[in-house]
Amino acid sequence: MEAHNMPQDNPMGAGHQMEPLGEAAASRGLGGWLNERLSLDTFRYEVPAHANTFFYTLGGITMVCVGILAVTGILMTQFYTPVPEMANWSVRSLTMRPFLGSVLRGIHYWTAQVVFVTLILHLMRVFFTGSYHRPREANWLIGVVLAGLMGALYFTGTVLKWDQESFEALEHMVAATKLAGPLGFLFSDKFGAGSALLTRVASLHFVVLPLILLLFLGAHMLLIKKLGISPLPWKTKAEIAPEGATGEPAGAPVTLANSHAKVAKRHTFDRHIKKLVGYGYAVFGLVLALAVLFPPKIGAYPVAGIEVTRPPWVFMWIYSIENWFQIKGLVVVTTLLGLLAVAVPFVDRAKTQSLKDRRWILVAGGLIAVALVFLAMNAYVAKPASHLGM
Amino acid sequence: MRRISKILGVITISVILIAGVQTAFAHGGGDDPKDALALVQQAIAAIQNKDMDLATDKVNDAIESDDPAGVKMDLVKQAQGLLATDMDKALSLLQQSLAAPTASPTTVQAEPTIPLKPNFQGTKTEDGLLIAAALLMLAGGLIVSRA
Ligand code: HEM
């Protein structure tokens, strides 16, 4: 925190500073004008250098994607009709009739793919660096819930287009909820008579899941702010040889030039936000290009009684499990995986975040990741099979 | 810590047990339809999803069905001969074989007017959007590297 950002000796309190605060406040122009009114300086607090690196920005990029999904999703609901007779047609109508309708759907679809890549990378970063260690266990658990919610949003999203893949996905959900016992009743086709299951899935996707996601995202961010970003699990060059941090050999005399370089290297959170704006532009450009070049497909209106489709890549690993152990395997393995994720901060008993101390959990995590990739690849080569006893 | 491991163990075993018991009561999907109409619809979906073995089974079943109502069987028979050699032609024959529209919601009336596959066509709008996309990525890269 910059000293001039703390007006402790201002008798009128923080809200009534008589002196201009900080460089940004003092500067004229749009930035200064906005800062004076929106107190943008609030975000200029210092953060460790590693907080502004790509791998520690993946959570933020995920958040930016969630924002793009929200905006494009709200726009798409203006064209979508969540009843079985109309859903498939209304999605196709959206892609053909309104100006840029196909691009709108494409951006939503491709952002959903990108968000899963960044989410998985973020989870892997947090796991690898042991950032779930005390006192961040709760934030890891919130993260597990966020991952589950994102999975549920992806799943309900694929059901909405109501083609063969959607229909079979929903049938699998119904079968799985039957296995889940009383918990599954709420999501079964027996509950909510009078409303089509598709319509209820749509309300989950449009309202229920986003609201819960927002709640947990808020808690996630609050805890990151309160607890600060976790330290790196290894020593940085600067910590090993403080003078070396500016590029000179360790022990070199401090000169005017290298002390300036040090000041320039101060890392603040507003730089993190600026980077996120940059990543946001880049991601939006990417999904726009993908939406134009590769508009997402949609199949014909579904037919009951056959199983001919595979799930999207996010769930592909589950498909192998189903091929071997049917729906029961799906329920058991996803539950186990969820429990394992929950257990991570409690079974990793290493006192530090150091990679060496956490060898075995890193190996275990790596093996699970390899197993999931193997299961997914196996599912791509397997022929679609029947899991519902049709 | 040991207590937590124990609790996790108990939860895991309960979940497996509950799942195991529930499966005994699980409902095993529907029976195969007997009417040609549903069978041809299934064959169409199978072709669209490139499962030709299933499509062949369904077409054979449809031809042998005792309930051919709503289906032009001569077209289905023509399609049967083409399944292995000309998938597109077989698909289109099967679609024509269904007397539209039926009570089944499968034949939503507007369906043929809205194509299934939007594709990149290289229109001026699309080219403009691609340029915009490139500029956005460039601007993003610049902002990231300068921040
Ligand atoms: C919608 C999904 C998610 C969003 C938007 C999100 C966002 C963020 C952001 C912005 C940060 C700050 C640091 C960074 O960007 O790397 C962060 C940190 C963190 N996230 Fe997430 N996250 C999500 C899901 C998850 C998941 C799935 C997990 C793990 C199961 C997780 C666990 C954590 C933890 C423990 C931290 C603190 C890390 C530290 O202090 O180094 N998050 N998250």
| Other residues' Cβ atoms within 10 Å of the Cβ of residue B88 | 9
Alpha helices in A78-136 (DSSP H): 87-96, 101-128
| Other residues' Cβ atoms within 10 Å of the Cβ of residue A345 | 19
Answer yes or no: is pLDDT of A178 > 90: no
Cα–Cα distances (Å) from B93 to A79, A175, B65, B89, in that order, read 33, 34, 18, 6
Average pLDDT on A15-28 reads: 48
Q: What separation in Å is there between the alpha carbon of A123 and the centre of ligand 1? A: 7
User: By C-alpha distance, which of A199, A96, A217, A219 is closest to A156?
Assistant: A199
User: By C-alpha distance, which of A296, A245, A277 is closest to A112?
Assistant: A296
B12-69, pLDDT tens digit by residue? 555 544 444 443 333 333 467 788 888 988 888 888 888 888 899 899 999 988 888 8
Q: Name the one residue in this structure whose structure tokens are 């749509």.
A: A202
d(CA A221, CA B8) in angstroms, rounded, equals 28
Answer yes or no: is pLDDT of B144 > 90: yes
The preferred substitution site among A132, A149, A224 for testing ligand 1, maximizing ligand atoms within 8 Å of CB, is A224
Q: Nearest C-alpha to atom 29 of ligand 1 is from which residue?
A: A143
pLDDT of residue A258: 47
Q: What separation in Å is there between the alpha carbon of A224 and the centre of ligand 1? A: 8
In Å, how far is A96's CA from the nearest CA of chain B? 7
Query: What's this model's pTM, rounded to 2 decimal places?
Result: 0.79
In Å, how far is A383's CA from the nearest CA of chain B? 9
In Å, how far is A301's CA from the nearest CA of chain B? 6
Q: Is residue B103 less than 8 Å (CB to CB) from chain A?
A: no
HSE (side-chain half, CA atoms, 13 Å) at A368: 15
Q: Is residue B14 less than 8 Å (CB to CB) from chain A?
A: no
Q: What separation in Å is there between the alpha carbon of A223 and the centre of ligand 1? A: 10
Q: Which of A303, A328, A346 to probe by mutation at the B interface, max B CB count within 10 Å?
A: A303
- Long-range pairs of A208-213 with CB within 8 A, sequence gap ≥ 24: A209/A149, A209/A152, A209/A153, A209/A156, A210/A70, A210/A73, A210/A153, A212/A149, A213/A66, A213/A146, A213/A149, A213/A150, A213/A153
Q: Sorting pLDDT into bands at 50, 70 and 90, what band is B4?
A: low
* ipTM of this predicted structure: 0.79
pLDDT of residue A2: 37
Q: Taking CA atoms, what residue in A is nearest to B124? A: A292
Q: Contact, B98 vs A247, CB < 8 A?
A: no
Q: Taking CA atoms, what residue in A is nearest to B4? A: A346
Contacts of A110 in chain B (CB under 8 A): none
Q: Name the average pLDDT for chain A.
A: 85
Q: Contact, A286 vs B135, CB < 8 A?
A: no
d(CA A287, CA A283) in angstroms, rounded, equals 6
The amino acid present at B24, given as its one-letter code, is: A
pLDDT of residue A254: 45
Q: Sorting pLDDT into bands at 50, 70 and 90, what band is A112?
A: very high
Cα–Cα distances (Å) from B75 to B37, B40, B93, in that order, read 13, 11, 6
Q: Taking CA atoms, what residue in B is nearest to A171? A: B29
Q: Taking CA atoms, what residue in A is nearest to B113? A: A93
pLDDT of residue B116: 67
Q: Name the one residue in this structure whose structure tokens are 């958040």.
A: A63
Q: Sorting pLDDT into bands at 50, 70 and 90, what band is A215?
A: very high
3-state DSSP of chain B: CHHHHHHHHHHHHHHHHHHHHHHHHCCCCCCCCCEHHHHHHHHHHHHHCCCHHHHHHHHHHHHHCCECCCECHHHHHHHHHHCCCCHHHHHHHHHHHECCCCCCCCCCCCHHHCCCCCCCCCCHHHHHHHHHHHHHHHHHHHHHHHC
- Through-space distance between the first and last CA atoms of chain B, rounded to whole angstroms: 44
A115-141, pLDDT tens digit by residue? 999 999 999 999 999 999 999 999 999
Average pLDDT on B75-82 reads: 89
Contacts of A344 in chain B (CB under 8 A): none
- The tokens for A125 are 């970063």
The listed range with the strongest mean pLDDT (A150-164, A172-186, B33-47, B62-76) is A150-164
Q: Name the one residue in this structure whose structure tokens are 């993190």.
A: A272
Radius of gyration of chain A (CA): 25
Contact call for B8 and A171, based on CB within 8 A: no
pLDDT of residue A237: 72
B100-120, pLDDT tens digit by residue? 544 444 444 445 556 666 788
User: By C-alpha distance, which of A71, A146, A159, A78 is closest to A116?
Assistant: A146
Q: For residue B23, what are the contacts with CB-CB under 8 A and spacing of at least 6? A: A179, A327, A328
Which runs of E-coded beta strand occur in A264-340?
none
DSSP state string for A244-282: GGGTSPTTPPP-HHHHHHHHHT--BHHHHHHHHHHHHHH
In Å, how far is A299's CA from the nearest CA of chain B? 6
pLDDT of residue A31: 85
Q: For residue A152, what are the contacts with CB-CB under 8 A and spacing of at least 6? A: A204, A209
Average pLDDT on A216-220 reads: 98
d(CA A339, CA B11) in angstroms, rounded, equals 9
The listed range with the strongest mean pLDDT (A28-32, A35-39, A168-172, A220-224) is A220-224
What is the CB < 6 Å shell around ligand 1? A 56-60, 62-63, 66, 119, 122-123, 126, 131-132, 136, 139-140, 143-144, 146-147, 150, 217, 220, 224, 229-230
Answer yes or no: is pLDDT of A304 > 60: yes
Four-residue CA torsion sign, A31, A36, A37, A38:
positive
